């Protein structure tokens, strides 16, 4: 199953385990808000919070995917009432996500 489909299924089923299972032990996420980096354990906690809270992903789509990269775009509604358009780039190593970087734009619907 393609990486994107695994991730989308986890989001749709509100289950962080498939998402966390895609993360490499040396995973790094670069936060678009601050540029700060998070490791696998920190990102795993955020993923669990996102699927258990009222974060609502919409129009999630894969723009490109192969064995080395995954480029995606989607809309996310957050519990504070904000909505963001989020573009993501994920780098893969040994079939695991080793680095993720996003960019987001606050939008009104």
Q: Kindly report, residue by residue over 14-64, the tens digit of the pLDDT.
A: 899 999 999 999 999 998 778 899 999 999 998 998 888 778 788 889 999
- Cβ neighbors of 39 (< 8 A, separation 6 or more) are 27, 28, 29
Per-residue tokens: 104: 């987001």
Enter the pTM of the model. Answer: 0.83
Whether domain 3-107 has CATH 3.60.110.10: the reply is: no
Strand partners, 65: 70
Q: What is the pLDDT of residues 61-75, one digit of tens each?
A: 999 999 999 999 999
pLDDT of residue 25: 98
pLDDT of residue 43: 95
pLDDT of residue 8: 79
pLDDT of residue 74: 92
What span, in angstroms and rounded, lies between the C-alpha atoms of 22 and 42? 14
SS3 of residue 74 by DSSP: strand
């Amino acid at each position: 199953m393609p990486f994107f489909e695994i991730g989308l299924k986890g989001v749709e089923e509100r289950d962080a385990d498939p998402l966390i299972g895609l993360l490499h032990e040396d995973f790094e996420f670069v936060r678009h808000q601050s540029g700060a980096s998070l490791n696998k354990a920190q990102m795993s906690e955020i993923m669990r919070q996102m699927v258990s809270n009222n974060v609502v992903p919409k129009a999630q789509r894969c723009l490109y995917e192969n064995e080395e990269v995954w480029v995606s775009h989607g809309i996310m509604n957050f519990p504070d009432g904000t909505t963001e358009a989020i573009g993501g780039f994920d780098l893969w190593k040994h079939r695991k996500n080793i680095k993720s970087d996003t960019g987001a734009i606050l939008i009104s619907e």
